[in-house]
Structure 1
């Protein structure tokens, strides 16, 4: 996306004006382009983001500063997020793109392991926009909470922005070259607040300077990778996109005909797959999909569109689902998988070369994936209910069938009994939805009150925002195995409740950066226990997974590893500035396993929210746009933790296991941590909560060996903390 803006600037194609000229105007932003700019611009980029996961530490500050600038300039911003993936960029192409990014990251880690710190930072910075879906989800929620208008388009944001401008819903659009490709006459490329200058490019000027027709101009932007609808065919193995000028020269030789250029390439490289993708991309540009003023999902120039539109846009979903996507009730991932009937897995930030991660996504997460797909399929037609779903993985050429059809009937029976009204729900559920919902069911008498079928199938039973959130979470808890069919707690539910009670008694609940940090961390720990991946096993070989615990005996290293893995689930305090400090590919590999589980849990929550709305359980008179957006924003697992807390805990415990004369003050390693002592105390309390739940669990779900592992680690940790009290490292 940045390549086009850099090229336009170098070719003097930008027009400039004063921000004052845009006072009292409405500007619609391509949210993904806005985020990519923050992630890559010199003043806001945090190059170590791919080595840490989570959010950039200064991201909220940059966003809030921009929002204040818009208010000061009396500019009303509207942010439009991308929806589903266009069929022209299919799973195979996405996997190839991800492999290139993973190669960039693998090279960066190799440089880091050689001790070339500055070179490593620059290398990591090349992948700052890889795997940022969770950042987009946070941005949507943060903007909505700030009172900014947000929406998610059915597919690409660009045609939606163009439609909005053409129909008078905004005075200007700000985004990438894709806006020009989809018919925008001009697009704002930057706001230079320090100089008070706005820059934009004009489609006609660009075409005139190039001496290209409209069609040739579109081909140029497609083939150079400036439009995310299609990947550039000339990308190098390491993921670098060629300069627009190079593609321009090739197109000029072919008289501006991109199709002819690719035919030539196909003859040379036998790349029929890419040629087909290009055809689809051109049709997707000619007949894009957008939401109209009355909420209808339409195809531009539909009367002239071919009969197989789904071949280049993807299988059509019910308009109601696009309605919930538009308002942020759900993200696009499961809808994407449903439309294509394929789960596409891409490499994690650590590169995904480890067998444990591959086993996780190929085997252990299949149940959660299938549940989410089955929940939404309940309210869809036979194509989705009886079609064959597959899973495709970047490390295998074999597609694995998924038993989605078999999961539909059990979901129907389960969902029909959750229509709990506000009077039964706890008052603090909106602040702590997981803990409060589980606590509601911990009393068997109260649990029976939640068995609430719709009387005589009557619609519109749920009328309040808290009822939407409460019933979504309650259904999710049962589907995830924490609640029985009679709405009492299962063995897993009781163990989780013991951990939540410990969090209330030891003060961990009040220590989170966000209100839901503590309950999300504890819940995720139990999901990892269910999947048998929360332990002290050394899953990742060294090399290449550098940075495991290094100090002390084997017992010291094992216990440090286990406690650090729990710490992966929490947030830590850091100044609003890019991270500097130690890294660990070993811990990052585990962190990426936790993020895969977290994303699957979020998917399941979103699908239960959509299924509840689509089933007619919710009143459409009292639940409007704001309430739907509030629901999506209030669902758990909105924010993904970074690796920072785990790095602090691992470094601290490593030094406690070092020889006393060689111990170092780790505060010197983490330059911008604002409350290391508080972070460590939070980590110990988080550990205590998880351990309390493990020890309270029935041996039928958590065996004696795991209980003993946690007990040994807990005794060891308490000894280390007590010994350190007189010789503190922080």
Structure 2
């Protein structure tokens, strides 16, 4: 919604523009998520089909790198500040309201696409480009850190943090949205134009003069119009906006009718008590949002005036140490939010979430994973948290609140505390760098029984932490995670699942799929396949019926369709190479539904990894003098940073569909993917991924993988080889 403020300020001639040179040799704090949302929604940089593909926008890294180069050339030092925990004004009712609106928008976009109205569908998809982008925020954090740019996460709202940083002279200026003005900034930079070497900003006094308002009514205006990050727009204003009326103008007219008092406006809204409560909380958030001081303490703004019930509008407090790890990027705020709210709230996926399969995964199959992540974090917190459970609530059945059983999992959490392996013990002959392929490294290391025995070393109670080196931290967190997921036995040997995973990883390495350049992609894709198999969702079942899930495999016999579906599902775990431009090509709601199912599993695995990292630090196993940058290295180095898009699955599905068509009627699919880097090479990669996963499944013991499943994969593999041979016999690989 930040763009609504920028559009209004520009239309009202409130933006000042000056030379970029005036900011040379300055430090500027940037609201990172406002910056990202601008890239996702601004006409010149947005990719409208992002919600139909998942993953990252194809040109995102290019745009970010160009901006970083612009900062360097201008002599500006950017400091990107990310949002931390969500304040209580963004409660389940408000999150649910935004999520359901986005899901309805996307369902309508798919309906338009299925009618063959491609251009209209692109416009419709573009309305939801900033929905479910948590994984993109995580990628941006990691990319900026690797580019040696200063990053941190605020304890709560980034805008409040960067305004504090400017007031205390840690930075010279702030860049963001109306949220910065609401939190007290005198001016906020709204745009950097590195091409023309210009910069635009908006001043608070100009806004107040234009509106004939003081600061408090202006804050109400920004809250009601949805121009801040702490409250969505009032429903009445949203409906007017859809009719073509700018939100800020509509909010201003509404406020005039009630003496510029936003609270009175909310009182007059029929049947919207949720919004009234959220607005009241948001008002207090503006006054007292906690920030992290230069000394590392987390304190509310105007601390001397803060009321006793601060938790009602901010949320439950966490230990100072946790906020420090959040600030340094060891963990994101997702699990922390669930813990302080006492609730996991599942929102609709990009495909709309109408499938029973997705609902079963998030409501039932992922419950133990979510509970384990929360139990790891909870174990070392205050007794209040240890004794208080967390509820699971899903958008499709909000009255059905299910306890996760977090307090009952303390014993299972303790089982992973046997990993305190020092760097001196990490040397081995595998030839794998733990920072390049932590999952492969961890599995390969333990395949040596002698090396595995020497990894079991519990830390003496009360002894000081000794782990300090980045490789030590990453290796121990990864082993704890794999132990937790059942790939490692209590004696630190590989379990049946661990041996099957090793067989897959070895095959990928022998096929030159798991190389230095592709290590993260390959090991994560293979690991994800095993996790999906264990959840009984990696199969040929038609989990997403048509309608509404259009775009399943269409050609050939039922066997052809089933095998195409299975192999395409494996391909959805890999990366698609696309030019740095928005996607044009075929879409599939059917494959997107499966992609979103895998995305839910991936996010749960990433959460568990982050909580193992936090647990390692909170338990005292790590030396207290670890440099802050090394903690960020740990968060960046953990697996599952990047979520794949749907591109590779679409290529594979299209290719196999055509091979199941009559030879005389086959099309060259390379013409369907106009901006793909190399369709043939991506297909080759997909076959290597398939072969690696199949090798592990065939090698698995029958006690963990049924003969029926092995046969399903073996038959699909034989089918694929025959199809590929028929493809090679054609004039080219696809026609």
Task: Note if contact 1:104-1:239 (Cα within 8 Å) is conserved in structure 2.
Answer: no
- 2:289 equivalent in structure 1: 288
Closer, same or farther in 2 for the Cα pair 1:704/1:84, shift >3 Å? same
Q: Is 1:458 the equivalent of 2:460?
A: no
Task: Note if contact 1:502-1:692 (Cα within 8 Å) is conserved in structure 2.
Answer: yes
Within 5 Å, which residues of 2 pair with 1:546-565?
546-565=550-569
Q: Structure 2 residue aligned with 1:625, among 616, 620, 628?
A: 628
How much does 1:239 deviate? 9.3
**Distance (Å, rounded) in 2 between the aligned partners of 1:627 and 1:36:** 28
Within 5 Å, which residues of 2 pair with 1:536-547?
536-547=540-551
Closer, same or farther in 2 for the Cα pair 1:238/1:607, shift >3 Å? farther
How much does 1:461 deviate? 1.8
- 1:438 equivalent in structure 2: 443
Closer, same or farther in 2 for the Cα pair 1:693/1:574, shift >3 Å? same
Closer, same or farther in 2 for the Cα pair 1:242/1:530, shift >3 Å? farther
Task: Note if contact 1:370-1:404 (Cα within 8 Å) is conserved in structure 2.
Answer: yes
Q: Is 1:642 the equivalent of 2:645?
A: yes
Q: Is 1:303 the equivalent of 2:307?
A: no
How much does 1:242 deviate? 5.3
TM superposition score normalised by structure 1: 0.98
**Distance (Å, rounded) in 2 between the aligned partners of 1:456 and 1:352:** 47
More divergent stretch after superposition (360-369 vs 483-492): 483-492
Cα deviation digits, residues 532-589 of structure 1 (max 9, x gap): 0000101001011000000000000000000000000000111111110000000000
Q: Structure 2 residue aligned with 1:673, among 668, 676, 699?
A: 676
Tell me the secondary structure at the aligned position of residue 547 of structure 2. coil
Q: Which runs of 4+ in 1 moved over 3 A?
A: 235-242
- 1:388 equivalent in structure 2: 389
Q: Is 1:82 the equivalent of 2:83?
A: yes
Q: Structure 1 residue aligned with 2:514, among 486, 505, 509?
A: 509
- 1:399 equivalent in structure 2: 401
Task: Note if contact 1:498-1:693 (Cα within 8 Å) is conserved in structure 2.
Answer: yes
Q: Structure 2 residue aligned with 1:408, among 378, 403, 410?
A: 410
Tell me the secondary structure at the aligned position of residue 712 of structure 2. helix
- Which ranges in structure 2 are unaligned for 5 or more consecutive residues? none
- Which ranges in structure 1 are unaligned for 5 or more consecutive residues? none
- 2:485 equivalent in structure 1: 480
- 2:28 equivalent in structure 1: 27
**Distance (Å, rounded) in 2 between the aligned partners of 1:270 and 1:305:** 30
Closer, same or farther in 2 for the Cα pair 1:511/1:452, shift >3 Å? closer
**Distance (Å, rounded) in 1 between the aligned partners of 2:241 and 2:62:** 30
**Distance (Å, rounded) in 1 between the aligned partners of 2:240 and 2:210:** 31
Q: Structure 2 residue aligned with 1:660, among 660, 663, 669?
A: 663
Cα deviation digits, residues 82-104 of structure 1 (max 9, x gap): 01111111012201210000000
Tell me the secondary structure at the aligned position of residue 686 of structure 2. helix
Q: Is 1:255 the equivalent of 2:259?
A: yes
Task: Note if contact 2:292-2:298 (Cα within 8 Å) is conserved in structure 1.
Answer: yes
**Distance (Å, rounded) in 2 between the aligned partners of 1:328 and 1:183:** 26
Q: Structure 1 residue aligned with 2:504, among 499, 507, 527?
A: 499
**Distance (Å, rounded) in 2 between the aligned partners of 1:572 and 1:233:** 40
Tell me the secondary structure at the aligned position of residue 658 of structure 2. helix
Tell me the secondary structure at the aligned position of residue 152 of structure 2. strand
- 2:69 equivalent in structure 1: 68
**Distance (Å, rounded) in 2 between the aligned partners of 1:511 and 1:595:** 24
**Distance (Å, rounded) in 2 between the aligned partners of 1:689 and 1:709:** 15
How much does 1:439 deviate? 1.2
- 1:592 equivalent in structure 2: 596
Task: Note if contact 1:499-1:691 (Cα within 8 Å) is conserved in structure 2.
Answer: yes
Q: Structure 1 residue aligned with 2:616, among 608, 612, 621?
A: 612
How much does 1:361 deviate? 0.1
- 1:315 equivalent in structure 2: 316
TM superposition score normalised by structure 2: 0.97
Cα deviation digits, residues 181-229 of structure 1 (max 9, x gap): 0111110000122322211111111011101121110000000000121
CA RMSD of aligned residues (A): 1.3
**Distance (Å, rounded) in 2 between the aligned partners of 1:549 and 1:511:** 34
Task: Note if contact 2:93-2:274 (Cα within 8 Å) is conserved in structure 1.
Answer: no
**Distance (Å, rounded) in 2 between the aligned partners of 1:242 and 1:259:** 21
**Distance (Å, rounded) in 2 between the aligned partners of 1:682 and 1:511:** 15
How much does 1:7 deviate? 0.2
Within 5 Å, which residues of 2 pair with 1:29-48?
29-48=30-49
Question: In the comparison of the two structures, how many residue pairs are matched?
Answer: 724
**Distance (Å, rounded) in 1 between the aligned partners of 2:111 and 2:239:** 17
- 2:726 equivalent in structure 1: 723
How much does 1:236 deviate? 4.3
